[in-house]
């Protein structure tokens, strides 16, 4: 972990006008829904993944295509430090934004006497923060594979494959195909539902193991891919 890299990444992300416009619309639009239709509760809010996706898109690929990465790695920064710092940076930003969104929505609902219990709001904030950390790990791995915004292309392709497999599984009544599609979906959008813990005290062990497996696997593979890359001022990638 490298504090300078984390702060530099945060600065880089917030100085992109397109990113900020997308981020603002994804942050405030659901709050408007909550404001004008309090009956819907916290439902219109995003789960943290969308906000993180906007922040994390091109997290490493953009550095590769712009040539910044060669300069960063010219300093004695280990590649694992670089990967982990980039992931941590967007995860923290995404998690904080998603949690802040839930908090604001809950306060708005509280003012209109339509707020769910604080336990539900805290559970939602926790789940959103976890979703941000998980989603950022997936995007970080994809971003090491292709330059620029290639990570979004991989994510889109994998999502199409998942939907296609799910449809085929339902069509031919093959449970293992739909289960594989569900696992692929769990890999692409890692999350831990905290509702069962909050409602009945049931700990979703499978979801926890799946989430931790996805995050560690993505980060480990991202570091391995980065270690194998050769960067020079003359190379194109």
Partner 1 sequence: MPPAAEPAGGTRRPPRTLLLIAAVLLALRIVLVVYQVLHPAKPHDLVSWQPIAAAGNLSAATSKPILYDFSADWCGPCQKMKLELFSDPDHATALNRTFVPVTVLDRSREDGENAPEVAELESRYHIGAFPTLVVVRPRGDPRILTGYTDADATMRWLAEAALESHRHAAAPDSAGAKP
Indicate whether 233 belongs to the interface with partner 1 (CB under 8 A): no
Shorter beta-carbon distance to partner 1: residue 5 or 223: 223
Nearest to 98 by CA among 145, 146, 132: 132
DSSP state of 39: G
Asked whether position 170 contacts partner 1 by CB under 8 A, the answer is: yes
Binding to partner 1 by residue 174, rule CB under 8 A? Answer: no
The contact mask relative to partner 1 for 51-90 (x = CB under 8 A, - = no) is ----------------------x-xxxxxx----------
Report the alpha-carbon distance of residue 198 to residue 202 in Å, rounded.
Answer: 8
For partner 1, which residue of 66, 213, 235, 237 counts as binding (CB under 8 A)?
213
Q: Which residue has the tokens 């953009």?
A: 62
Decide: is 117 part of the binding site for partner 1 (CB under 8 A).
no
Residue 8 interacts with partner 1 (CB under 8 A): yes or no:
no
Q: What sign results for the dihedral spanned by CA atoms 49, 132, 186, 122?
A: negative
Helix (H, G, I), strand (E, B) or coil at 21: helix
Chain-centroid distance, C-alpha 187: 11
Residue 201: which residues within 8 A CB-CB, separation 6 or more? none
Confirm or reject binding of residue 145 to partner 1 (CB under 8 A).
no
Task: Report d(CA 210, CA 225) in Å as an integer.
Answer: 22
- Of 35, 108, 184, 224, the residue at the interface with partner 1 (CB under 8 A) is 224
Cβ distance to partner 1 smaller for residue 136 or 219: 219
Taking the C-alpha atoms of residue 107 and residue 99, their distance in angstroms, rounded to an integer, is 12
200 binds partner 1 (CB under 8 A): yes
Residues near partner 1, by CB under 8 A: 41, 43, 73, 75-80, 170, 175-176, 179, 183, 199-200, 205-206, 209-210, 212-213, 216-217, 219-221, 223-224, 227
């Amino acid at each position: 972990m490298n504090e300078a890299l984390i702060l530099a990444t945060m600065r880089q992300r917030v100085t992109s006008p397109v990113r900020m416009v997308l981020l603002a619309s994804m942050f405030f639009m659901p709050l408007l829904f909550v404001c004008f239709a309090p009956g819907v509760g916290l439902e219109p809010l995003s789960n943290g993944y969308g906000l993180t996706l906007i922040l994390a898109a091109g997290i490493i690929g953009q550095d590769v295509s712009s040539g910044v990465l060669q300069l960063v790695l010219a300093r004695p920064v280990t590649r694992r430090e670089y990967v982990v710092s980039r992931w941590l940076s967007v995860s923290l930003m995404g998690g904080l934004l998603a949690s802040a969104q839930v908090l604001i929505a809950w306060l708005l609902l509280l003012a209109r006497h339509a707020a769910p219990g604080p336990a539900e709001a805290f559970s939602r904030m926790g789940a959103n923060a976890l979703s941000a950390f998980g989603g950022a790990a997936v995007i970080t791995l994809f971003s090491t594979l292709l330059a620029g915004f290639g990570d979004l292309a991989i994510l889109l392709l994998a999502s199409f494959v998942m939907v296609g497999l799910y449809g085929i599984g339902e069509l031919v009544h093959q449970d293992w195909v739909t289960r594989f599609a569900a696992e692929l979906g769990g890999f692409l959008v890692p999350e831990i539902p905290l509702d069962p813990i909050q409602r009945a005290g049931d700990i979703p062990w499978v979801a926890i193991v799946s989430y931790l497996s996805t995050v560690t696997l993505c980060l480990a593979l991202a570091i391995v891919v980065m270690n194998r890359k050769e960067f020079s001022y003359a190379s194109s990638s």
